[in-house]
Amino acid sequence: MQPVESAAVEAGPPGDRLSFRAAAGLVLGACAVALLLHRPGFGGPFISDDVLYLEHNAALALPIGAALRKVTLEPYYVLGNWSPVHEIFLLAEWRAFGADPLPYRIVNALLHAATALAMLAAGRRVGLSRAGALAAGALFLVHPIAAEPVGWINQSKTLLSVGFSLLALERWLAHLASPSRARLAAATAAGAIALLAKPAAIPLPALLLLAAWTHGAPGTLRRVWPDLLPLAAIGAVAFVLGLVAQATQGGVAPWFGGGPLGTLQVLPWLLWRYVRLVFAPFDLVHGVHPAPIHGWTDERLVWPTAALAAVAFLAVRAARARRERWLGIAWFVGMLLPVLQVVPMINLFADRYLYAALPGALWVIVDAVEVPARRRGPGALHALFGVTALVTVLFAGYAHGRARKWGDPELLYREATIAYPLGRAGWTGLGAELHKRGDLAGAAENYLHSLAVFPDDAQVRHLLGRVRGTLRPRAFAAARADASRRDVVAPDGRGAPRSGCRAGARRAEARGSVRRGRWEPSRSAASTTSCCASATWRRRSASTATRSAARSSARARHSGSSSCAPARA
């Protein structure tokens, strides 16, 4: 960035821009890296919501005019995660590719490369040096967090939204440096596309307004705020439609931990996980769901809060040295706000949410490290280059391995059931994959696991009903009996409470094993989780009859022993 005393930050003189040949090489290199890193996942099938967005989306089979009217105006689409740009994008892909998942994932990888290039361009406008912007863009390109948006086809909405948000920021900063109607129109159009691709970009107008203070000359904020009103109006409409959808279409989950206080207590753990994954993205899981926090002295509340306080101190100190860094900090926090349970959602936690916030963190980190290194001289810069190259290679290797799991959904979901046995995403996804493979008994057992965690999931109940209608009664009874022996469903067939034994879940995670090349819990892990669920169910049974049945079942299983014996088939 420029020296501390600087005011407005510009991208540099025209002679500082890349030549056409260099720009073309940069684009081709980014596309090649993205394709190579995510190639292991290209052979996978449609996963989870991909089926709903594509194969079972009735609008995609209509004539083009009727399809456009349906996805842009029909209440089902307008009041359900309003994203007409994404729906139109899927419509075009479906007409071009049909039911073959391969080209969809190739397009997603190319979208990720384009987003990394947009981040590089925005980084130059934010004020990073050419080398700093290139380093930040490279780290974003190879960061393992991109494996989920690329491998999960319907997450093209995330790629589109983040890419156009970064483009809007770049054009807006260019407009602040040299005002013109064309740059303002480009910033507004890009921002509108980002909002209409995914409503999670709602913080964008506020971030652009902040950029007028961090990167504009004195008086710029008062001069340009009316220019953001059209974008703010689109964001307000998206926000209201999202609230209406969650309130009327069953999209609101109960508060995590039983109430607003329980949700508030888990937020430090969640935010610290996002911060940690910026530096150490080595425990990514599709289906994050921690156990509820138990009181204000719980270590999973105390330690993340202390760590966040330390990070906040360092961030404020860095921003006080360079006012422009406030924009990167605000970008990181602002892009996480829509998913920090301000409004309770079904999908409480997801590692992919970091994808939108990651650019802000990388801008601040790269600048905070590069500026002191430049002051120390060439030796420090060479050392910094070596460390950056090492981290880039490390991230690339892990991203390549993470992409391989998206090519094998069964492996992906088994991993989730081990890491977070109290979450529903792993059980539901594994049940769906076994269902598609024809293992109906295994599918029924995993659907029962999912309903034990979240009994009100209508979709899983529907899937379980389909399996039950196909299975022979004896086979379905065996699947239910196996689930009941692990106490994941109540004796009357209803779901068990969503809370559980934190220590038991951790022991189950620690004792997981890899068998035959696939993630599977060990027998001891299954029995530990079973014991934990059994204790929770017995504490919370609603009726005396249910309590008596649970106690009798426990006495029969343990045969007078106080330990948790492995469950037997």
Distance from C-alpha of 419 to C-alpha of 65, rounded to nearest angstrom: 46
Q: Where is 22: in which H helix or E strand?
A: helix 20-38
pTM higher than 0.75: yes
Determine how many CB atoms are found less than 10 A away from the CB of residue 533: 26
Q: Match domain 409-538 to its CATH number in 1.25.40, 3.40.50, 1.10.60, 1.10.3470.
A: 1.25.40
- Among 100, 105, 138, residue whose Cα is nearest residue 119: 138
Residue 331: what pLDDT? Answer: 96
Q: Can you list the alpha helix ranges (DSSP code H) found in 98-203?
A: 101-126, 130-142, 147-151, 156-177, 181-197
Determine how many CB atoms are found less than 10 A away from the CB of residue 426: 29
Phi/psi at 520 (nearest 5 deg)? -145, 145
Region at 322 (left for phi over 0; alpha for psi -120 to 50; beta for the rest): beta
Q: How many Cα neighbours within 13 Å face the side chain of 127?
A: 26
Tokens of 446: 């995993």
Residue 76: what pLDDT? Answer: 67
- Among 360, 423, 431, 411, residue whose Cα is nearest residue 520: 411
Phi/psi at 442 (nearest 5 deg)? -65, -40
Tokens of 78: 């307008």
- Tokens 């809060």 locate to 305
Q: Is 554 in contact with 563 (CB distance < 8 Å)? A: no
Query: What is the full per-residue pLDDT of the chain (569 aa) written as tens digits?
Result: 443 433 333 344 344 677 888 899 999 999 999 999 999 999 988 888 888 888 888 888 888 888 888 877 777 665 566 788 998 999 999 999 998 999 999 999 999 999 999 999 999 999 999 999 999 999 999 999 999 999 999 999 999 999 999 999 999 999 999 999 999 999 999 999 999 998 889 999 999 999 999 998 888 888 999 999 999 998 888 888 777 766 665 445 566 766 778 778 888 998 999 999 999 998 899 888 888 888 889 999 999 999 999 999 999 999 999 999 999 999 999 999 877 655 555 556 788 999 999 999 999 999 999 999 999 999 999 999 999 999 999 999 999 999 999 988 899 999 988 888 888 888 888 888 888 888 888 888 888 888 888 787 777 888 888 887 777 665 556 566 555 545 444 333 333 333 333 333 333 333 333 333 333 333 333 333 333 333 333 333 333 333 334 344 443 333 333 333 323 33
Q: Which residues contact 96 (CB under 8 A, 6 or more apart)?
A: 103
Residue 50: what pLDDT? Answer: 86
- Tokens 């740009």 locate to 85
In the chain, list all ranges with CATH 1.25.40.
Answer: 409-538
SS3 227: helix
